[in-house]
Amino acid sequence: MATTSSLPAAPAAASSAALETAISETNAKESANGVDQTGADQSTTSVNGAEDADDSIRTVFTDPENFNVKHPLFHNWTLWFDNPSAKGLSVKTPGGKDSWGEDLNKVVDFDSVEEFWGLYNNVIPPSALPQKANYYLFKEGIKPAWEDPANTNGGKWSIQLPRDKSKAGIDRLWLYTMLAAIGETLESQTPADTSDPNPDIVTGVIMSARPSFYRISIWTRKAEDPVEEAAPGSIGRHLLDIGQHFKTQILGYDLHQKVSHAGGLTSEVEFQSHKESEKKKGKKFVI
């Protein structure tokens, strides 16, 4: 992808260096049949996974060329992209398929704060995406498709915003959504079922550009009615908390504010299971 960074020289160099590290690690993992990197439970991690002769800490911001420390995220993440409107346009993507014309292209895996910002500052922002293009930011190992086992029984929170009125702010909203996902702030409560091997519910977030609107979605691995009456610690209550956080802390609306308006393309913040979305008039929950 072409860079769109408008950063000063030093931060731009740091972002590029971090992104190059993420791409190299993605390619190395795929060459080794997807073996995961280790050390994600440390507050800082050596880029090369080994002790440096020089014990001084060098971050990507203090030494863009020879940094030896990065700050790991709680989960590893993968950015995917597709652009169905550009069928046949051949572009090679790091770690992905040979053409943007394929339905889904893996861009890069990343596992640190530095790599995220390197990626963010070197990809096309949502406001400049062509019609029908999509960004998918999902936890590593989860494909952004209903058929993936992590998504099959889940659903999504989403909002639709008119393209002409939202273009100036859509980049900021998508950034806030990504930061909430990788920063693990979408899920603030502990589920009642602590025996669940996957207690976290969010699997990924999606940015979709369409001819007349943008849509931002938060995908979940489970789906129950997200209602106020749901018991604390239940899946329904957990989902409701995610939706309320999305509406108030990311999108910036008041909790009980009506978002949509007659005749417009704006939707309310709504939840729908993937199974219900396959129906012509599937059930939705609005907050």
Q: Is the pLDDT of residue 262 over 50?
A: no
Highest mean predicted confidence (pLDDT) among 48-57, 138-147, 190-199, 225-234: 138-147
SS3 category, 240: helix
pTM: 0.77
Q: pLDDT above 70 covers what percent of the chain?
A: 71
CATH 3.40.50.300 fits 134-287, yes or no: no
Mean pLDDT over each residue of the chain, to the nearest integer: 81
What's the confidence (pLDDT) of residue 172? 97
Buried b (16+ CB within 10 A) or exposed e, 121-146: bbbeebbebeeebbbbbbbbebbbbe
CA distances from 174 to 61, 64, 167 (A): 24, 27, 11
Does pLDDT of 113 surpass 50? yes
* 99 vs 219 pLDDT, higher one: 219
Number of neighbouring beta carbons within 10 Å of residue 119:
22
Catalogue the E-assigned strands of 48-87: 69-70, 72-82
Band of residue 69 on the pLDDT scale cut at 50, 70, 90: confident
- pLDDT of 96 reads 45
Q: Give tens-digit pLDDT for 129-138.
A: 999 999 999 9
Q: How crowded is the C-beta side of 226, counted as CA atoms within 13 Å? A: 26
Rounded Cα distance between 232 and 209, Å, is: 36
Domain ranges of the chain: 1-124, 134-287
Lowest mean pLDDT among 101-110, 158-167, 245-254: 101-110
CA distances from 162 to 1, 137, 209, 285 (A): 26, 22, 10, 21
pLDDT at residue 32 tops 60: yes
Q: What is the mean pLDDT of residues 77-106?
A: 66
Share of the chain above pLDDT 90, in %: 53
Query: 56 versus 193: which is more confidently predicted?
Result: 56
